[in-house]
Chain A
Amino acid sequence: MDKPPLDPFEDILGVNFAPERLEHNLGAFRGILAEIQKLRQLDLTDIHPAVIFEPTAAYRRKSDQ
């Protein structure tokens, strides 16, 4: 038996707003999306994001306490 197709909002984004609420939020997001779309155009391939995974931090904090 075929599984039903995934819903882009409910299944992938985890959004289960009522239709009118979804429409409202999408409308509010339009201006922000325009900014994000500009960001998407940038080639930042070689840039490490400003997020550092630091596995020793928890051990250091424990010893500081």
Chain B
Amino acid sequence: MTASLWARPIEALAPLIRAGKVSPVALTESCLERIAAHDGKLMSFICVARDALEQARQAEARIKRGDRLGPLHGIPVGIKDNYLTEDMPTTAGSSAPGLQFPMRDAAAVARLRAAGAVLIGKTRTHEFAWGNVTPPVRNPWDLTRVPSGSSGGSGAAVAAGFCAAAMGSDTGGSIRMPAAACGVVGLKPTFGRVSRDGIVPHSWSLDHAGPLTRTVADCAHMLQVLAGYDPADPACQHQPVPRYAKALERPIKGLRVGVCRNHFFERNQAEVQQAVEAAIYDFAAQGATVVDFRIPNLEYGLAAIFAIELASSTAYHDVSLRKGLTAHFQPDVRTLVEMGRFVSAPDYLKAEQLRAVLIEDFRRAFERVDVIVGPTTPITAWKSGEWTVRVGDRDESVLAASWRFTFPYNLTGLPAISVPCGFDADGLPIGLQIAAKPFDEMTLLGAAHAYERTHEWRERMPQLA
């Protein structure tokens, strides 16, 4: 039984743990054994918690004592290395000298601990969450390919069965892109839904915290623990926290499924396009109403996110920049941080104006639809070291292509989820992205679960042996 525990989702494990039928120690041992066997190839963890088994033993003791148990009691969860933790070092993926992060729990980490999770280790991030490759992490579906990023360690670790869930952060797609590339579920909640307190900032008005899991139900369980007001995050909002598991019972019949035909469908790899069109067809076949629409102003979105992200990142790293420490950053991150100096204040504010325009455009779209579906990324996982990829009839930079469909929901703060919707001819996962109105994660999770439960993609796992 122990051998297969790592493969089970939270939705299966949590009730068994509560009933005393699965031991948190056996579950954690199962994950640790799998990490020991395979993470030498995947490199998804930068640090495995030395006390992971001790955490599990304490969880088991609480069950035996009949203590009140949290919703994630005894569940192994990985933490992205840009979340502060009181018992494991934080590097934010950087080995530059002079950087030191506090040893304390980020708000999300504290919530996971209080919910009974076993914090099994820190997963690798692209340096300062600034990138889509996450070296040296490899994709579990094909070790020659990237897991995407910046939460690439979390995506690879969940896909490989090293932990039942992992935390990610998402500034332009960094939860959803690795979820799509690694064949798992990734949720970026509404801006303000989950506290970012204690996460190393990248871009204050774009950063989101959220989970990567194996199933949509598991995302609902994680969000239940993570959501809520926190005065320590200035963007966090006082909003009711519904019972997200209730969303999983929602029927799809009558749901208005929007499809933004410009931007999201103009240039995709053929197999991505086919898989997403098939998913849209499936929504209609289940009784949803499909509504096509267009948002022409998305044409200016890339300028806006670059202006905001570059300027914010450069402001955050200003001291390092002035001291010349950026020379010790990875070459791609160094260039991005230094380039932020070229973004003028009027360009930044014009980007914020464009952002207001896009927020209004999407609000109007949501008068006619309940969710918006499309591809998470136009491409599947690309080969490590490749900087351009064939998309449609042209070669395109992977940086430009990979986040094209995810960043609009960072600019607008809307909740968005990536769920697996197929595999290409090379056996690489394809992601379907679903977005909803602000703080309407119920509809988002309901639609994602309705799609997931009528397909078998979640049953597939990468063969690592």
| B306, B342, B351, B400: residue with the most chain A Cβ atoms closer than 10 Å | B342
A-B contact count (CB 8 A): 83
A50 to B305, CA, bound (A): 13
Quote the shortest CB–CB distance from A26 to chain B (angstroms). Answer: 7
Q: Is B339 an interface residue (CB 8 A)?
A: yes
What's the tally of chain B residues with a CB closer than 8 Å to chain A? Answer: 32
- 8 additional A-B residue pairs with CB within 8 Å, beyond A14-B341, A21-B338: A25-B335, A36-B343, A42-B354, A50-B352, A50-B359, A51-B205, A60-B231, A61-B234
Select which of A21, A36, A47 is within 8 A of B306 by beta carbon.
Answer: A36
| A15, A39, A57: residue with the most chain B Cβ atoms closer than 10 Å | A39
Q: What's the interface size class on A, roughly? A: 20 to 34
A5 to B306, CA, bound (A): 31
Asked if A61 contacts B231 (CB within 8 A), the reply is yes
> Which B residues contact A (CB, under 8 angstroms)?
205, 229, 231-232, 234, 299-300, 302-304, 306-307, 310, 335, 338-339, 341-343, 347, 349-357, 359, 397, 400
A21 to B350, CA, bound (A): 28
**A60 proximity list for chain B (CB < 8 A):** 231
Asked if A25 contacts B342 (CB within 8 A), the reply is yes
Q: Is A28 an interface residue (CB 8 A)?
A: yes
**A15 proximity list for chain B (CB < 8 A):** 338, 341-342
User: Which A1-37 residues have C-beta < 8 A from chain B?
Assistant: 13-15, 17, 21, 24-26, 28-29, 31-33, 35-36
What is the chain B residue whose CB lies nearest that of A60?
B231
Asked if B231 contacts A64 (CB within 8 A), the reply is yes
> Which A residues contact B (CB, under 8 angstroms)?
13-15, 17, 21, 24-26, 28-29, 31-33, 35-36, 38-40, 42, 44, 47-51, 57, 60-61, 64-65
**A47 proximity list for chain B (CB < 8 A):** 353-354, 356-357
**A64 proximity list for chain B (CB < 8 A):** 229, 231
| A13, A44, A50, A65: residue with the most chain B Cβ atoms closer than 10 Å | A50
What is the chain B residue whose CB lies nearest that of A36?
B303
A51 to B339, CA, bound (A): 23
Asked if B347 contacts A36 (CB within 8 A), the reply is yes
Q: Can you show 15 pairs from A to B with CB atoms below 8 A apart? A: A25-B335, A31-B400, A33-B342, A35-B300, A35-B303, A36-B306, A38-B299, A39-B300, A39-B304, A50-B353, A50-B355, A50-B356, A51-B205, A61-B231, A65-B231
